[in-house]
Amino acid sequence: MSARVSVLPVFVPHLGCPHACVFCNQRRISGQLKPASPDDVEQVLKKAAAFPRNGEKRQLAFYGGSFTAVPVALQNGLLEPAYAAVLRGEIDSIRLSTRPDAIDPMTLDRLRSYGVRTVELGAQSMDEEVLRFSGRGHTAEDVRCAARLVKDAGLELILQMMTGLPGDSLEKSLYTARELINLRPDGVRIYPTVIVRDTELYDLWQKGEYREHSVEDAVEVCARLLPLFEEAKIPVIRLGLNPTEELSSGEAAAGAYHPALGELVKSRILLHRAEELLQGTKPGAHIRIGISSRLLSQMIGQHGENRRKLTEAFSPASLDIVPVEGCLSPRLLSEENPGDPRGGQTEKDSV
């Protein structure tokens, strides 16, 4: 079993970013107003060193901004204390995130010389129109090139995508997911769009020129995306923005901001699987669905939402959802149809 990784985050908001993506106000998203300095890195390392490791791996992560677009001296200034900690054995690796058009072989060589192990690229979409409407300033081909360079350099590649950007649709999100899968990343983060105050997207939304990507929209789209990555054996390491005090206290004006978005999506996937399973069920049937006890609450849904939706769609006389160990997907344990005294017993797995 691989060791648990504890991530030590350092935010470098807006540092070096040559663009203003319509959705982005990094200072607010990270909950921090001033850019990170080498001192901040030292402080993060010092705090972590005060706690025993308990066998976990430690990774220092530079998030936000566009790390490799920052002047080289500044990048190196941030990397030096991190690398010194790697050499002292206090941390195991360094990760950073950046834009696809701020990557080249020389930069990757330099990052490797500072012990960087993981590069995250903000792809956001592989649809040119969505990229243009969102003010990204790079193309889908930039994402493909940068991803290949990162992999050729022997570094771990994480790709980030967003859903619900201006001009986006379910089909375009599915296309983006398939394109990202073709690049064989080591992991993916999915960020459904949140409308943050003080951004161009907020103004577009206020003027009625952008329709909010609601929590419900995001749940429905992500419930289609997650199984694609799962099938391709690419881990989705994050779904939705990390909740921060600022976002929760009103900076997230609208959009897909929900502290338990990942749970809602997993619950929706189970709902879709149960719906497939119950196709052809006659109204008035007595239905029993089995699911592993650890997935029971996800199967029932928040406030019983999945149970309610299944009841509305299939009108059973009774619907029991019961724990069955080892059932990671809903299984139809029995279906007793009306007028069938033997019960029309069934046992059926979802796929």
- Give the footprint of ligand SF4 on this chain (CB under 6 A): 14, 17, 19-21, 24, 26, 65-66, 99, 122
Is the CB of 180 or the CB of 327 nearer to ligand SF4? 180
CA distance 267 to 253: 25
- Helix/strand number for the chain, H first, E second: 13, 13
- Which residue shows structure tokens 């308990």? 54
The distance of closest approach from Cβ of residue 120 to ligand SF4 in the complex, given in angstroms and rounded to an integer, is 11
Alpha-carbon separation of residue 119 from 59, 154, 306 (angstroms) = 12, 10, 38
The distance of closest approach from Cβ of residue 241 to ligand SF4 in the complex, given in angstroms and rounded to an integer, is 12
CA distance 343 to 333: 12
Task: Identify each DSSP E strand in 12-145 by its residue range.
Answer: 57-63, 93-98, 116-124
The distance of closest approach from Cβ of residue 75 to ligand SF4 in the complex, given in angstroms and rounded to an integer, is 15
The distance of closest approach from Cβ of residue 304 to ligand SF4 in the complex, given in angstroms and rounded to an integer, is 38
The distance of closest approach from Cβ of residue 29 to ligand SF4 in the complex, given in angstroms and rounded to an integer, is 8
Is the CB of 119 or the CB of 319 nearer to ligand SF4? 119
Is the CB of 100 or the CB of 330 nearer to ligand SF4? 100
By 3-state DSSP, what share of the chain in percent is helix, strand and coil, each rounded to 5?
A: 40, 20, 35
CA distance 38 to 97: 17
Is the CB of 19 or the CB of 184 nearer to ligand SF4? 19
Is the CB of 53 or the CB of 132 nearer to ligand SF4? 132
